[in-house]
Amino acid sequence: MSSAVFPGSFNPFTVGHASIVERALGMFDTVYVAVGHNAQKNSPADTEKIVRQIETWAETVDSERIKVVSYSGELTADLARRLGCSCLLRGVRSVKDFEYERDMADINRRVAGLETVLLFALPDQAAISSSVVRELASYGYDIKPFLP
Ligand code: ADP
């Protein structure tokens, strides 16, 4: 059984995130979507809302193979070990993402022997970020086209 952890803030979970998970289902038996809870940025209730948003989406795709978890106060590498995953999954939209992901992948390999699988953003989704979606929402724009 192969499994990967897809860690992130997912605030909110966008069509870009959904595409990464759906495409990874062709490579792994199970994909854990791991919502990182940051006490400085979010309340536990916010994180719970994000988990529910992703679970609702996962039910429409493959609730057996997509598992949604939240975590805090734990290194992502330790979470992966706890879940029995030897692989991290991340998405790359740009050169900026690439450099960050390369450095994180190197550290995770060194400290935990974890490999990172990177999937490129679909070209028409490369500009979509949770922060832009949040900003649009704060100005009253309809964000449905950005949510799966
Ligand atoms: P983090 O705060 O850890 O970067 P995010 O929720 O912003 O968490 O993103 C989680 C992962 O999803 C990252 O690897 C990010 O590059 C990827 N990602 C974000 N938006 C997209 C998108 N539109 N297409 C593909 N991957 C994306």
pLDDT in tens, 30-51: 999 999 998 888 889 999 999 9
Helix, coil or strand: residue 5 = strand
Ligand 1 atom nearest to CA at 92: 16
Q: Give yes or no: 37 in active site.
A: no
Q: Is 10 in the pocket of ligand 1 (CB under 6 A)?
A: yes
* Stated pTM of the model: 0.96
How far apart are the CA of 101 and the centre of ligand 1, in A?
A: 10
Mean pLDDT (the chain, rounded): 96
Q: Is 28 in the pocket of ligand 1 (CB under 6 A)?
A: no
End-to-end Cα spacing for the chain? 27
Q: Decide if 101 contacts 116 (C-beta within 8 A).
A: yes
Of the listed 17, 19, 37, 90, which one is catalytic?
Answer: 17
pLDDT in tens, 98-140: 999 999 999 999 999 999 999 999 999 999 999 999 999 999 9
Euclidean distance between CA atoms 58 and 22, whole angstroms: 10
Nearest one of 1, 2, 23, 11 to 91, comparing CA atoms: 23
Q: What six digits make up the tokens of 118?
A: 């990177």
Of the listed 23, 67, 93, 109, which one is catalytic?
Answer: 93
Substitution site in 22, 31, 47, 90 for ligand 1 pocket (most atoms within 8 Å of beta carbon): 90
Distances (CA, A) of 10 to 13, 84, 88: 4, 22, 16
Q: Residues of 54-92 as b/e, b for ≥16 C-beta within 10 angstroms?
A: beebbeeeeeeebbbebbeeeebbebbbebebebbbbbb
Query: Residue 83 — very low, low, confident or very high, per pLDDT cuts 50/70/90?
Result: very high
Q: What six digits make up the tokens of 92?
A: 């790359």
**Per-residue three-class SS string for 35-69:** EECCCCCCCHHHHHHHHHHHHHHHHHHCCCCEEEE
Of the listed 41, 52, 82, 102, which one is catalytic?
Answer: 41
Ligand 1 atom nearest to CA at 118: 14
pLDDT in tens, 8-23: 999 999 999 999 999 9
Q: Decide if 143 contacts 137 (C-beta within 8 A).
A: yes
